[in-house]
Amino acid sequence: MNNDNRESLKPNLKEKTKKKEEKITIPPVHIHTKDEIREIRKKLKMTQRTFAEVLGVSRRAVEGWEIGERKPSRATHRLLEIISTDSAMLELYASLKNQTVMDYVKNI
């Protein structure tokens, strides 16, 4: 590669480097109340059992959250925030569950 070609690549390299430096601002995790958790589940038209399966917890855990006996982890609060904002995320998850990530990426 000659010097002219190297020089022409520098702006692209600088631009790519700038993009890597950009930071995504993630809002703090919202800690849901027992009533908010129940509202999310009902909005999604799920039983406690189905909701528990989606979140990867026991039905008893969901029941405990909804009556205030237990508290979800921060990761669960984040997931609740995501699925309550965009229920299409659940549809995407369901479609991925029966295929590998690579199969999914190939279909994009």
Write the pLDDT tens digit of every residue in 89-106: 777 777 766 655 555 455
Q: What is the pTM of this model?
A: 0.66
Write the pLDDT tens digit of every residue in 37-77: 999 999 988 899 999 988 999 999 999 999 999 999 999 99
Band (10; pLDDT cuts 50, 70, 90): low
CB atoms within 10 A of CB 51: 23
What string of DSSP letters covers 47-99? -HHHHHHHHTS-HHHHHHHHHTSS---HHHHHHHHHHHH-THHHHHHHHHHTS
Q: Please determine, for residue 22, whether its predicted confidence score (pLDDT) is greater than 80.
A: no
Q: What is the pLDDT of residue 76?
A: 96
Write down the CATH superfamily of domain 34-106. lambda repressor-like DNA-binding domains (1.10.260.40)
